[in-house]
Amino acid sequence: MPAPAATPAPGPDTGRTVLDSGDIARALSRISHEILERNKGADDLVLLGIPSRGVPLAERIAERIAAVEGRAVPSGSLDVTMYRDDLRLKPARTLLPTQIPDGGIDDKVVVLVDDVLFSGRTIRAALDALNDVGRPRAVQLAVLVDRGHRELPIRADFVGKNLPTSLVQRVRVHLNDVDDEDAVIIEGAGA
């Protein structure tokens, strides 16, 4: 099942920090430029973060793109809870906000933004959720960390850092907006 990579683990903080706030800032800047390069500008771009930590990441990328291009890029959020394939395996989960920017996603290039790419199941759910919102011209995926172990044929277009991990490890992403610090931490065996 998709590990809730961004959920804080219980117990003492024994993790190893692999990205600090400077690293995260540089990775997001590079991703922003790559998105612009790939799409030859910011025309028709819509950034959708997957809650909870994909949303502030999408906002930061939108800010950087706006700084380069000199105009705002719409950024929103897309909750995938109802579309998860493990919905029935756990108690009913709290829904998180879905905020589709004005103008919708029809014929736009949607860039999904998430913190950690792991099994790929969250992204599959996001693709289903997008299907009910509209029909984008293209969908791309940007993640801060790709930790491998895919269970579905899904890959990211823009990656902040490839992080080889073992399945027993946990990857935690902390962001200022949610956790009062910017850091990516690996916990567990061999960390």
Partner 1 sequence: MKKHLLSAADLTREDAELVLATADEMRSLADRPIKKLPALRGRTVVNLFFEDSTRTRISFEAAAKRLSADVINFSAKGSSLSKGESLKDTALTLEAMGCDAVVCRHGASGAPHRLANSGWVRASVVNAGDGTHEHPTQALLDAFTMWRHLGPRNGGTLDGLRIAIVGDVLHSRVARSNALLLHTLGAEVTLIAPPTLLPVGIHSWPVETSYDLDAVLPKADAVMMLRVQRERMNGGFFPTAREYSRRYGLDGRRMATLQDHTIVMHPGPMVRGMEITADVADSARSVIVEQVTNGVAVRMAVLYLLLGGSEPAVGTTDGADA
Between 7 and 162, whose beta carbon lies closer to partner 1?
Answer: 7
Closest listed residue to residue 174, CA positions, set 160, 187, 185, 166: 185
Q: How far is the CB of 136 from partner 1 (least distance, A)?
A: 13
Amino acid at position 133, single letter: V
Residue bearing tokens 């962001």 = 175
> Is the bond preceding 77 in cis, omega lying within 30 degrees of 0?
no
Between 24 and 105, whose beta carbon lies closer to partner 1?
Answer: 105
Q: How far is the CB of 145 from partner 1 (least distance, A)?
A: 27
Closest listed residue to residue 117, CA positions, set 73, 158, 87: 158
Between 67 and 82, whose beta carbon lies closer to partner 1?
Answer: 82
φ, ψ of residue 31 in degrees (nearest 5): -60, -45
Q: How far is the CB of 25 from partner 1 (least distance, A)?
A: 31
Q: How far is CA 11 from the centre of its chain?
A: 25
Between 71 and 90, whose beta carbon lies closer to partner 1?
Answer: 90
159: enclosing H helix or E strand:
strand 158-162
Q: How far is the CB of 107 from partner 1 (least distance, A)?
A: 14
Between 37 and 132, whose beta carbon lies closer to partner 1?
Answer: 132
φ, ψ of residue 54 in degrees (nearest 5): -70, -25
Q: How far is the CB of 121 from partner 1 (least distance, A)?
A: 15
Q: Which residue ranges make up the site for partner 1 (CB under 8 A)?
A: 79, 82-83, 87-98, 100, 128, 132-134
